Structure formats: C-alpha cells, structure tokens
Structure 1
Amino acid sequence: MADNIIQILLADDDPDDRLFFSEAFESTSLRYKLKMLNDGQELMDYLLHPETTLPSIVFLDLNMPRKNGIDCLKEIRADEKLKNLSVAIYSTSSSTEDIDNAFILGANIYIKKPNNFNELKRVLQKVVTVNWQFHTANLNKETFMLTV
C-alpha cells in the first residue's frame, strides 16, 4: 500500500449501492482510493490486466449480470496472481446457502449490505482496517458473517 492508502475495489451492478458505498467511505477518516466496476466480467478483466495494481481488498456483490460474485470468487481463488486477494462478499442476500458457498470458496468475510448509512460506514471502516492475512488464519464459520 503506497503511503498507507487503502486500495479498494467494488464490483456491484446497482448504481445506488455504488453511490451509497462511496459516500460512506468519503465520510470516514481513512486514506483510500476507490475503483468501482459494474459487474463481475468487468472485475475479472480489470484484475487480470497485466498493468493492474492489485487492490488491498475487493468488495464483491453476489448478484450481478454477465458474471456473478460466486463465479468471480472461484476465478480469483484459482488464479495464481489473485488467489491471496482479500475478498469481502458484499450482498443483500442473507441466505445460508450464499453464506456457506462464499465461505467454502474462500471469501475472507461476508457482509450483508446495511441500509443505514452509519452502519455501512462502521462496517466498511472495520473491514478495511483488519489485517486479513492474519485474521484468516483463525477464520471460522462463526466469525465469517459480519453483523452490525
């Protein structure tokens, strides 16, 4: 991370959710650079581009057109260059099946999208300040779902 600037990447097809997400980050005291993409295909094209600097963390929506979040997660974990990326699933879904799938496929954390701005701000600040390489050594199903 150059100059302790957190490189954040969000893949979400909902323009309102992207705006809410970026406004929440703007209201924190974090030093960050945010790049937003519209779907999973855009995300994978960006991550696999040879000149891309990999982000500190990827926030990945599950339900997107062209390529969904689960397919992206599978590709990220299967790729030598990308497999150690910190991936936060960021979804409106709280279905056990989605949470279990994301856990089994190697996401670092699962966040149910909050509808409250202050909750979102608190969640995002907490997630980006965790050292994921250390945290995932103790990863278990109980700590996987971040609840506010």
Structure 2
Amino acid sequence: MRRSTTFFLADDDADDRLLMIEAIKAIDPNIAIVESENGQELLTVLESQTAFDRCLIILDMNMPKMNGLETLSNLRIIPRLASLPTVMLSTSGNPNMIDFAKKLGALDYYIKPSTMDGLVNLCRQLVFGKAGQPDVGPGML
C-alpha cells in the first residue's frame, strides 16, 4: 500500500494557491493539500497535526501577518516541526533572500513560474525531485 503524502501550502493569494493545487494534482491526484493564507495560520495547522509521515511545506515568501522567512524561522524553533522539509516560493530571485532562506533551513527556493506549464514543471520537481525519480524529491523525505 502506498503511503499518503501531504503538502502544506501557505500563500496569501487565493488564485496562486488554486493554480498550485491544480498543478500538484495534475502530477499526483493522491497528494493531500492543506492550505493556509499566512504563516501564522500554517503554524496553527501544523501544531494541531498528530503525525507527519510524508509531507512537504511550501511557503510563499511575501505574506501578511508572518512572511515566509519568519514562518520558516518559527518552524525551526518548534522541536516537533523543526525537521519538516520546507521549500520557499517567491516572485523575487534576490540572491540574499535565497541564501537567507537556505540558512534558515529551506531545502530549496523557487521563483514562481509565470505560466501553467512552468508551474506544472515546478510541481513535478516538488513531487519527484529534480532528477525526476519517484520518492527522491523534497516531498518524499
């Protein structure tokens, strides 16, 4: 039996969340997706979870209340959440921001694609890893 996978998606833009969900489901319709509108809401959701089997946290960089970097920083100080695999999404490719996100523990940093094909390709990397092999991507850790 295949183990279930859950992606926790935090993005304040409802349209971006919808497109991301469509792209993820196009790759693997069995992935459960839990949505949050900001970092505070995501932390509340994560703290209420009893177990994390196969999951990936996807954080938008720019969100109200608690942005992606603040959320990642807070994740890393909560012992039971500290090791959860997390990636960052942003419209900005600022090298300083990328370095800082990785220093905080982000597995990777992706610039949001401007096309649906680009978004599907990004989600393929999130599900399968950059090599395109099942069970080696960040979501499979």
Q: With structure 1 as the length reference, what TM-score do the two structures score? A: 0.81
1:6 maps to 5
Identity across the alignment (%)? 32
| Aligned partners of 2:113 and 2:119 also within 8 Å | yes
Matches within 5 A, 1:87-126: 87-126=86-125
2:34 maps to 35
Task: List per-residue Cα deviations over 1:88-129 (Å, max 9, x = no partner).
Answer: 101111111211110111100101110111111111111222
Q: Distance in 2 between matches of 1:23 and 1:107?
A: 23
- Give 1:4 deviation, angstroms: 2.8
Q: Distance in 1 between matches of 2:11 and 2:28?
A: 23
1:59 maps to 58
1:85 maps to 84
Q: Runs of 5+ in structure 2 lacking a partner? A: 130-135
Q: Runs of 5+ in structure 1 lacking a partner? A: 137-148
Q: Distance in 2 between matches of 1:104 and 1:124?
A: 23
Q: With structure 2 as the length reference, what TM-score do the two structures score? A: 0.84
Q: Distance in 2 between matches of 1:53 and 1:33?
A: 14
Between 1:54-63 and 1:11-20, the stretch displaced more is 54-63
Q: Distance in 2 between matches of 1:74 and 1:121?
A: 28
**What count of residue pairs does the alignment treat as equivalent?**
133
User: How large is the RMSD of aligned CA atoms in angstroms?
Assistant: 2.2
- Give 1:76 deviation, angstroms: 1.0
